[in-house]
Amino acid sequence: MEAFVTSPRLLLFLAMLLSVLHWAPVSEARDIHSFLNENFLNSSKSQNAKKWAVLVAGSKGFTNYRHQADVCHAYQILKAGGLQDENIIVFMYDDIANNPENRKPGVILNRINGPNVYPGVPKVDQDYTGDQATKANFYCVLLGMSRGVTGGSGKVLDSGPDDHVFIYYADHGSPGRLTMPDGDSVYASEFVNALKIKHQSNAYSQMVIYVEACESGSIFDGLLPEDLNVYATTSANPTESSYSCYHDPGLNAFLGDSYSVSWMEDSEARDPSTETLDEQYEAVKKRTGDKAKFGSTSHVMQYGTKKLGSCAVGDFIGSRSPKTKNYSPRNSSTRSHFIPQRDVELYLLHQKLVASVASEVCGEGR
């Protein structure tokens, strides 16, 4: 480092730069300063930034299998990208892997014939599972209030002014509202106010939020300011359902949600160190809502500080070599069984009824 600082070429460059700034008109000098800040100073901050993540599965029960599967898969992506457990905070009820209805005990899948995404994910007495996955703990974690959390690991989002934060929330929703496993509600206005407090506290540099829920656009639409350095995308606009996918007949469960598996499979197929947030947004938007081919599905939306879209995905979720080649924005394995989230429970009950009737008929036939 010392040799670099005392380099004659660097000193000459700095001398010329100071001369230009001294003699340039004020407006031009400001332009030069902005250029340096965006291309050099911010780049240096990005290299020193610590990556943090908060993952939330806001439901419980086997019929909601997909939300915890989504969060477990996201955890595996973050770990593969280099994030440490001390910087990943997980909220999930943790009643799926060993549920009596799970015909594959200890296993959680996020796609048909996919890998087990459960290993390594914080379990009981780690992070926030069971009755500790509450709205109160979520806000304490978000705001870095370690004294306020009840139970769990006690980890909070202790991020600093140079750090990058990624929040992923998979859940049920309704206009202006998300839920937690205990049934308590996270309301749009209070969530955005918490983000404003986090920003005023200078507790992060840049933040990305992905939300999977029905009417998820209503969490940010007209509420999230553009100057918080928060880039958000949602699975649906403010007035529509999001969609579940990957129905596994053997488990009689939907293993994932269309928007969620889209951004995660995209992250595994592309190089996060070069793919930008905007490029991922466009790919996920295309895969999730191709109405011409797949009928009425949801519309992926974008909110907040949209200029952050030029940042690399890997600046927030870490970087890894792509696992999948020849990624298609809509591969064939996701084309069947797209069900609005609000209709999933009814669909699964119908499948159980069909299986029960078939079993009785086959029994009588013997």
Q: How would you list the strands of the sheet with 339-340, edge to edge?
A: 253-257, 243-248, 339-340
Report the DSSP beta bridge partners of residue 231. Answer: 208, 304
H or E element, residue 232 = strand 230-234
Is 214 among the catalytic positions? Answer: yes
| Burial readout 320-337 (b: 16 or more C-beta within 10 A, e: otherwise) | beeeeeeeeebeeebeee
Alpha-carbon distance values, 171 to 12, 79, 102 (Å): 56, 22, 20
> Is there a contact between 228 and 199 (Cβ–Cβ < 8 Å)?
yes
Pairing of strands 88-92, 51-57: parallel
Q: Which of 214, 245, 247, 299 is catalytic?
A: 214
Is 172 among the catalytic positions? Answer: yes
- The first and second tokens of residue 101, run together, are 């209805």
Q: Which of 67, 164, 172, 299 is catalytic?
A: 172
- The first and second tokens of residue 4, run together, are 């670099």
Amino acid making up residue 272: P
Catalytic positions: 172, 214
